[in-house]
Chains A and B, each alone.
Chain A
Amino acid sequence: MRLGRHAFGDDDPLMMGIVNRTPDSFFDKGATWAEDAAFARVAEVVAQGAEIVDIGGIKAAPGVEISAAEEKARVVDFVAQVRATYPDLVISVDTWRAEVGAAVCAAGADVLNDAWGGADPELVDVAAEHDAAIICTHTGGVTPRTRPYRIEYDDVVAAAIADTTAYAQRALDAGVARESIVIDPAHDFGKNTFHSLEVTRRLGEMVATGWPVLVSLSNKDFVGETLGLDVGERLVGTLAATSVCALAGARIYRVHQVVETRQTVDMVWSIAGRRPPLRAIRGLQ
C-alpha cells in the first residue's frame, strides 16, 4: 500500500488520528478549531504513533453551509504547515470536494478521504493528477452532510462492497495507482445502527475484495446507541468494534484515541498470528 509519498508493508495496520479544523465536530466540539490547537493535536497523535493524520474542515453532521473557499481557508495552509513540520507523516484530508482536494494536494496532502462516497465525481481525477491515495467510502448515495433517514438495503454489506469497489474501479480508471486505493464501509454514513453492526460483523467480506479496508468507528452513534452511552463514554464500545474489524483484517483505523486503538489492534493482530508478541519469555526460558 502506498499513501502519497509513503509506502507500507502489506500487513501493517495503520493509525489515522483525527484532527478537526472545525468549531463543531461531534467528539471534540471545537477543541482544535484554533490553528494552534489543531497543530498541537497533530503533534499529540504523532507522538502517540499515528502514521496518518486526517484533517477535516467540515463536520460530517448537518450544519451551517461551509463554502469551498471557507473549507480551503480552514485546511490548505494548515496542511502546508503540517507537511513542512512532519515530512514523514501521511497527511489525509477529509473532503468530498475536488476543488479542495486539488488545493490540499498542492499543499502536501497524501490522501483524499472522501467520506461522502464520490459525491464530487472529479475527486478521483484530482487524486490521479497528484498521485495521491483515495479513500472510497460507502454512503448509500446520500447527499453530503445529511443524516440517514429510513434507508433500507437488501443487503447492506453487498451494497457497501458493490459501491466501494465500483468507486475503486472508477479511481483506477481515472489513473489513481492501484496500491493507493482504499475502501471504507463508512459506519453510520447512510446507515442505521443495525446496518453498522452488520457491516462490522461481516467486515471480512469487504477485506476479501482484496482492497485495503479503512474503518472509522471512533465514538460513533452506532456504538452509543448499542450501549446507551453518550459521546464521551464510548471508548470501550469503540474498541470492541475495533477488535472485530481487526480480526477481519482492516488495515487503517481512523480514530480519536490513538494509543488505546493501537494496543487493541496490536493485540488482535498478534492473536490473528500476523504480529509476533513484543517480547515473550514466560515459559520459554
Chain B
Amino acid sequence: MIRFDHIQVTFDGFTAIQDLDLQVSEGEFFTLLGPSGCGKTTALRTLAGLVDPSAGDVHINGRKVTQLPSDKREVGMVFQNYALFPSMSVEENIAFGLKVRRTGSAERARLVADIARRVDLSDDQLQKNVSELSGGQQQRVAIARALVLKPKILLLDEPLSNLDAKLRQQLRIELKELQAESGITTVYVTHDQDEALTMSDRIAVFNKGQVEQVGTPQEIYEQSSTEFVCNFIGDSSLLGPELTSHLNRSSSRTLDPAKLSYLRVEKAALGFGQGDGGRSVAVDGRITGRNYHGQHSRYTVRSFDSDIKVLVNESGRPGHEVGTPVQVRIDPAQVLQYGALA
C-alpha cells in the first residue's frame, strides 16, 4: 500500500531522515513512534507531499507519487494543532475540501452530515465557529474534515498531544474504532508509547532520523531489538555486572556481565517464595525509594550494584518504608541484553 523507498530528507544541511525503508499494508494502523526531533513527523509530511525528499521515492498502491502534489495523493491529513480555519464555522471547515472539488451543495450537505454523525458532532456544533469548541471537539472536526474526502490513507500527526489525559484516552479508543470501522490505512505519528502500543497494528520506532525497529506492539515491547527501543518503550532497570554475575550463579541462563542488561519494571517482583515455577532468582536488597501511583506503588530497591525498579500492587495494604530490607525476584530469562558496557 505505502512504501518509503530509501527516503532521505535534509533541511539546510541537517539530515532529518537518513535512509527510510518502510512498508505499510492496506488497512493497517501503522504508528511512527519516537522522541521529538527523531524524524517521524518529517516522514509523515513526506508521505503527505508537504516535504520533498532529497533522495528516494514514496509509493502508494504501487505508484510512485514522489513528484505528485499533496492533493493528488489521496491522503487525508490531521495536523497536530488541527489547522482548522478560524474564520469558518465547523460545517464550513468540514465542507471546505468538498467545495474545492466542486461537489454539489446537496451532496455536500449529505456528506458533511454523515461524517459529522460518525465523529459525534451535533447539528448544533456544526453551526458554531471552531473557536467555540473544546480541544476534543476541534479534533473531531479535523478528523471529519480529512475523512469527508474519502481518502485512501489517513495521516495523523500527534492528534491527541494537545488534549488532557482523560480525553486522550477516550479519543484513543474512538479513533481506533473509527479506523477499524472504515478500514482506512492509517499512519499515526506520536511520541507517546502508550498510544502507540494500544492503538497500532505495527509500530516503527524512530531515532535520529532512522528506524530502529519495526514490529507489532508486543514484539516491540517484549523483544526490543536495540537499547534505544528498550529504553524508549516501557520502564526498565539497568542491571550492573555484579548483579548479573549473581544471577548467573543461581540460574541456568547465562547472562554476559560485560553487556548492558535491562529488566522491565513489571518483570521484577518483591517478596519471598517461588511463584513462577522456580525460574526466578531472589536477590537481597534495601528499599531506597517509593512513589505512590494509586493503583500501585513503584519501588526502587538497591541490590548489589543496581537500582531495581519494582511495581507492587498493594491493594490498600500499607506500603514498605524506605530502608526496609527486601528480596527481589528476577527471572534471568526476562533480562534483555544489548552492546557492551562502556
A binds B: no
A residues with CB within 8 A of B: none
| Residues of B bordering A, CB below 8 Å | none
